[in-house]
């Protein structure tokens, strides 16, 4: 995801000032999808305006500006969203990296880590379910529905990770029981064989 496209999307939903855009990134958008502060947002707004993708819709007191997406900006946003470019994309997902490395922990630490994952994802799924219950249909247009599809995606994703963490805990506990039931001699010979 790129910051320019995130800004375009927000401005398509509703014209906003740089301050309002910064506030949007301080909420759920920044918490779950993409973090950006005013030091990166304001320069990007200038670049988007120079390239004709956004325009100043209104100027207010003390030089504040409200920006809106242009037709060209809408076309670019649509192109970006409907045709993702995955070639050469660098993947950096610390959560998935941790999952790759769980087996480097002692089993009791791995189980402790997974219990934390299960608890955290359950709490987040419940929090998002509450937001969805308060706001009604996820298919509302405009600002009323902004983020609700993403909230439902997040809720389902948290629920899936929660179920996976419980499954992984069960597997590690079963593996521990199998190791404990195995005589010491066969444990050391099976470790040597691998």
List pLDDT tens digits, range 132-163: 888 776 666 665 566 788 888 889 999 999 99
Cβ atoms of residues 69 and 53 within 8 Å? yes
- Are 176 and 107 in contact by the 8 Å Cβ rule? The answer is yes
Other beta carbons within 10 angstroms of residue 22's beta carbon come to 18
Q: Which helix (H) or strand (E) holds 57?
A: strand 54-59
Q: How many other β-carbons are positioned within 10 Å of the β-carbon of residue 171? A: 11
Tens-digit pLDDT profile for residues 11-27 = 998 899 999 988 888 87
Triad 154, 145, 96: Cα angle to 5°: 15
**pLDDT 10s digits, 73-88:** 999 999 888 887 766 6
Q: Taking a C-beta distance cutoff of 8 angstroms, is the pair 8, 76 a contact?
A: yes
In this structure, whether the domain defined by 3-82 belongs to CATH 3.40.50.300 is answered with no
Q: Is 72 helix (H, G, I), strand (E, B) or coil?
A: helix
Domain boundaries, the chain: 3-82, 94-185
């Amino acid at each position: 995801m790129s910051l320019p496209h995130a800004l375009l999307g927000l401005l398509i939903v509703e014209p906003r000032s740089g301050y309002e855009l910064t506030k949007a990134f301080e909420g759920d958008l920044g918490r779950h999808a993409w973090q950006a502060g005013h030091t990166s947002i304001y320069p990007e707004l200038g670049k988007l305006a120079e390239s004709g993708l956004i325009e100043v819709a209104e100027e207010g007191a003390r030089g504040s500006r409200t920006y809106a997406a242009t037709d060209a900006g809408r076309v670019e946003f649509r192109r970006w969203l409907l045709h993702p470019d995955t070639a050469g994309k660098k993947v950096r997902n610390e959560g998935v990296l941790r999952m790759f490395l769980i087996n480097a922990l002692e089993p009791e630490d791995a189980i402790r880590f997974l219990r934390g994952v299960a608890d955290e994802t359950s709490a987040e799924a419940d929090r998002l379910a509450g937001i969805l219950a308060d706001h009604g249909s996820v298919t509302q247009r405009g600002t009323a529905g902004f983020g609700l599809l993403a909230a439902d995606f997040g809720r389902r994703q948290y629920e899936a990770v929660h179920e996976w963490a419980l499954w992984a805990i069960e597997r590690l506990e079963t593996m521990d029981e199998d190791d404990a039931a195995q005589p010491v001699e066969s444990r050391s010979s099976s470790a040597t064989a691998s």
